[in-house]
Structure 1
Amino acid sequence: MPGMKRAPLLTLLLALGTPDAGARVRLGEALPAHPWAEAGREVIVVYSHDCGDLGELWGAVMSAGLPVRAVNAEDVPAPAPAGLNVWRGAEATAFARALRVGTYPAVLLVRGGRVLNAWEGTFRGDLGITPGS
């Protein structure tokens, strides 16, 4: 997608499962403290002001039929689609850092408060689920 930062090689290798004690977002990991009630399966988009145009990304996650959480990290306000309650400020940035997000935007597929899948700067619109399932 235009405007998305490219993941460094190390982040890509970590995302593919290369073991490392300092790994980025880990599958199965519980979410850090956040302000919303968990909703079974949900999508969390962690982004910053310098991600560029995220129109396609927002369209893809909004069409998945799951609750979408917007986390605007790094203390500079950036827009999200109308109707989304955006979490901003120091706590949102702390959330992203506690998850060890390495590249924005990051899209997390979550179930029961645990990360099922994560895309850091590489999301192409497919969450790997059937909408409504």
Structure 2
Amino acid sequence: MTRHATRRGAPLLSLLLLLGLSSSSALVRLGEPLPAHPWQDEEREVVVVYTHDCGDLGELWQAVLTAGLPVRAVNAEEVAAPAPKGLIPWRGAEATAFARKLKVGTYPAVLLVQSGRILNAWEGDFTGQLE
């Protein structure tokens, strides 16, 4: 039997647990400020950096969107890929440069950001399983 991230009760806690699982393998440096970007920083927000070849990100997007935080979609590597309805992804050379300045090693990368600084990071394939 597999267990999936719960979406009921405490969606932010579920997202934090999800993000905390792989932070030790993240190449993104925790505590660093975000590189230049086109949005105004929020107190706390989630940044998802992804590419066209990440596969089905449906469960990842669902977990991120139910966390109750502002979400920024960054479509890197120059090939357009969709984001969930209501999110306008940042695309193009600047978005790719942003991902490279972050030193994203594996897409998708999910960043929990507080006051413009990276609080937590998760990189890699997302299966929706907490085990």
Same fold per TM (> 0.5)? yes
Question: Of the candidates 103, 106, 114, which is equivalent to residue 106 of structure 2?
Answer: 103
- 1:44 to 1:124, Cα distance in 2 relative to 1, 3 A: farther
Unaligned runs of 5+ residues in structure 1 are 1-13, 18-22, 127-133
* Distance across 2 between alignment mates of 1:16 and 1:32: 21
Q: Which residue of 2 aligns with 1:49?
A: 52
In 1, are the aligned partners of 2:30 and 2:119 still within 8 Å (CA)?
Answer: yes
Unaligned runs of 5+ residues in structure 2 are 1-21
* Distance across 1 between alignment mates of 2:59 and 2:24: 24
Higher helix share: 2
Q: Which residue of 2 aligns with 1:75?
A: 78
Structure 2 residue 20 is matched with structure 1 residue 27: no
TM score, norm. by length of structure 1: 0.76
Q: Which residue of 1 aligns with 2:24?
A: 16
**Superposition deviation, residue 85 in structure 1:** 1.4
Which amino acid is the alignment partner of residue 16 of structure 1? Answer: S
1:60-82 per-position Cα deviation (integer Å, ceiling 9, x unaligned): 00000000000000000000001
In 1, are the aligned partners of 2:23 and 2:120 still within 8 Å (CA)?
Answer: no
In 2, are the aligned partners of 1:51 and 1:105 still within 8 Å (CA)?
Answer: yes
Identity of aligned residues (%): 74
Runs of 4+ in 1 over 4 A off after TM superposition: 122-126
TM score, norm. by length of structure 2: 0.77
Q: How many residues are aligned here?
A: 108
* Distance across 1 between alignment mates of 2:57 and 2:125: 12
